[in-house]
Chain A
């Protein structure tokens, strides 16, 4: 029977989804490909709740198997409950106090009147889809494909915050977002002449002689990601999606006024190291 999801299957689906969520959050760092690091406890909590619900439901289902009258009894038990709240407001006074409740169990459920008091809707099967996606496609962090479709928001007009002066010798490790901020918004031009090391993946550029070292920035999940790009010059482009550490210096660009279209800050590259993709791929 394809139609209604029977009680055992429902609980198995919940358990499966819960396990998949726990698999990516509690037992690996895969979840960082999809959401912010701070989300982990919520994911573990949600996964655990799903597993507990599913397992508890399986135990209950195996109990009701032993007493075949059980399902029917659940069905009949609906009726006496209803008047309590139907009468409470009088606004939804249309009567669903009697056998009509079966209709309310989701689309496509009309035909299964009784005995399916606990049948889930067919759409519940879709909850297997994320599990398929997680295990079969194993979706990686957003890479050059996503970065190439999207444009970095143009530089912001107002100065966001006072940038602290860069101290120390040698190349400064910096997030790409900070580099872009200092490049566009820092009145003191603190980047001038400083060697900076950026970490990101490679996105090919349309213009010759340059490529982008890129990091996606997410606010909440990968659906709201947008790329932060810095154009690297003077270095041959590695293959797309390679993770690299680039050391170089900022090339100041002076515009009388902001040009049309999206402009990226530029960097004169000095050296390049290939690295493994970091656990936390987003900024």
Chain B
């Protein structure tokens, strides 16, 4: 990458030239704390220390603790996937040349969409990983519609998730097939619709700090950038999901299970609200024995594509104008396609 020798001090060029994995020891010591004092952060630390002694004894209400457990669980569980996705996305930005994607994907965008959708099967992660990866693909010049098909397909059709589904529904291989088929169809349809009707100004293609040093510095820079953007929004989603998880009684739901079309809609909404990781949602769906197989399928198809933490992540990554159009479109299509697939297969 380009260097800026005229702006570098001697120390900097020493780092860039030697390509050593760690900067020399002298760095960070000699610096004066004159600029950019992290006051906000100091406040956080003070709150943590003071709160530990003054607040902790009072924060024991069972409802609060249950909420906090679920909130922390959602965050803790999603974090490794987010870090993995962000690392993969940063690797795409830093190490894979843009020309690779133009060669790997069909030239015509309409053909690139299904190819990208099927390619989703190779990313063994859940939905938190797919958002940064899709944004990395877009900023590398992949047609947004194709990257979106990848975004929707990969959390639902990768081998890990399909195996989990097979384990959760023993003796029902059709459920696995239906999940795979319906998810792929929705992803490709959404991709095509976006290609036909989507406008580029709705979608904010994430800019990346270009990085100016050796590749691994760029890699770190891209990761940090994505983590700060996506991480905060992941927490927003976790807050919302934990709150609904604690406040909405499950009995309301089983009462609705009797009406077929309502059951499908309710399971789809539940998938959005609960924001369960796509690697675990099959177990949850299987445990809801009151609902019909088609309703469970709707849960499995909608969950990896639309849920609260995903919506928050998408707003953070691609912008509000995008999310407010993309999310309802995906949700509607996912419900329709799973109802149809369920009617045909299950």
A→B interface (CB under 8 Å): 2, 5-14, 16-17, 21, 24, 31, 33-35, 39, 42-43, 45-46, 49-50, 53, 56-63, 65-70, 73-74, 77-78, 80-81, 84-85, 88-89, 91-94, 96, 101, 104-107, 117-118, 120-146, 149-151, 153-154, 156, 158, 160, 219-224, 226
Contact = CB atoms under 8 A, between A and B. Distances in A.
Nearest to A86: B141
Contacts of B8: 67
B77 A34 contact: yes
A151 B250 contact: yes
**Chain A binding surface SS class:** helix
B229 A124 contact: yes
A9 B235 contact: no
User: Could you say which interface size class chain B belongs to?
Assistant: 35 or more
Contact of A93 (B200, B210, B236): B200
B221 to A, nearest CB: 8
Interface of B: 2, 4, 7-9, 11-12, 15, 23, 27-28, 30-32, 34-38, 40-41, 44, 47-48, 51-52, 55-56, 59, 62-66, 68-77, 79-80, 82-84, 87, 98-99, 101-102, 109, 138-145, 168, 170-171, 200-201, 203-207, 209-210, 212, 217, 220, 223-225, 227-229, 231-233, 235-236, 238-239, 241-242, 245-246, 249-251, 254, 274-277, 279-281, 283-284, 287-290, 316, 319-320
Contacts, number: 294
Contact of A223 (B23, B30, B74, B145): B74
A142 B276 contact: no
Given A57-B220, A62-B27, A142 B66 contact: yes
**Chain B binding surface SS class:** helix
B235 A126 contact: yes
A138 B144 CA distance: 42
Contacts of B241: 223
Contacts of B145: 91
B284 A224 contact: yes
Contacts of A46: 79-80, 82-84
A91 B76 contact: no
B70 A53 contact: no
Contact of B232 (A24, A34, A92, A126): A126
Nearest to B15: A63
A226 B289 CA distance: 13
